[in-house]
């Protein structure tokens, strides 16, 4: 199968750290550097080289990410794990500015997969249901 969006870049980046990522998410405290390739954002939001490398180009790539045999289930597992922390804020879990990246990621994938309740549920729990306005603006073109 042809990797139109080079989604293998995410799989390769996640491979050595995914187990640790899940441990950190279960503990409710991000302590290492993986936000870009675990909770990707829309292109145009991040400024660093890592943000650019792991940026999602648009809704078509976001949908391909969700449909990917490894990446889609992993994203769902990560968001579901974060949702277990009812007594914590996104800032407590991720720190700043990664709490903002999480919101951007949720907004992107909520828009890409409107039939899923997972991403709106996380936005409700951590951001009073408010999606990231910059992500929505960029998606509108």
**pTM here?**
0.96
Q: What is the pLDDT of residue 95?
A: 98
**pLDDT tens digits, residue range 46-67?**
889 999 999 999 999 999 999 9
Q: Which residues pair with 56 in a beta bridge?
A: 42
Is the Cβ–Cβ distance between 122 and 42 less than 8 Å?
no
The contacts found for 137-140 with CB under 8 angstroms, 24 or more apart, are 138/42, 138/43, 138/44, 138/45, 139/42, 139/58, 139/59, 139/108, 139/111
Is the Cβ–Cβ distance between 92 and 79 less than 8 Å?
no
Neighbours of 43 (CB within 10 A): 15
CATH superfamily ID and name for 8-140? Protein of unknown function DUF1810 (1.25.40.380)
Q: Please name the helix (run of DSSP H) or strand (run of DSSP E) that holds residue 71, with its range, or none.
A: helix 71-82
Q: What is the pLDDT of residue 53?
A: 97
Report, as ranges of residue numbers, the positions in the chain whose pLDDT lies below 50: none
């Amino acid at each position: 199968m042809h990797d139109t969006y080079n989604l293998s870049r995410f799989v390769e980046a996640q491979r050595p750290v995914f187990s640790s990522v899940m441990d950190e998410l279960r503990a409710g405290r991000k302590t290492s550097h993986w936000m870009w390739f675990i909770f990707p954002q829309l292109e145009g939001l991040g400024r660093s080289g890592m943000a650019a490398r792991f940026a999602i180009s648009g809704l078509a790539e976001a949908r391909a990410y969700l449909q990917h045999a490894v990446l889609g289930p992993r994203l769902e597992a990560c968001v579901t794990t974060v949702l277990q922390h009812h007594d914590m804020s996104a800032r407590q879990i991720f720190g700043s500015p990664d709490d903002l990246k999480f919101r951007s990621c949720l907004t992107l994938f909520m828009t890409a997969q409107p039939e899923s309740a997972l991403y709106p549920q996380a936005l409700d729990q951590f951001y009073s249901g408010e999606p990231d306005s910059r992500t929505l603006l960029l998606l509108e073109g």
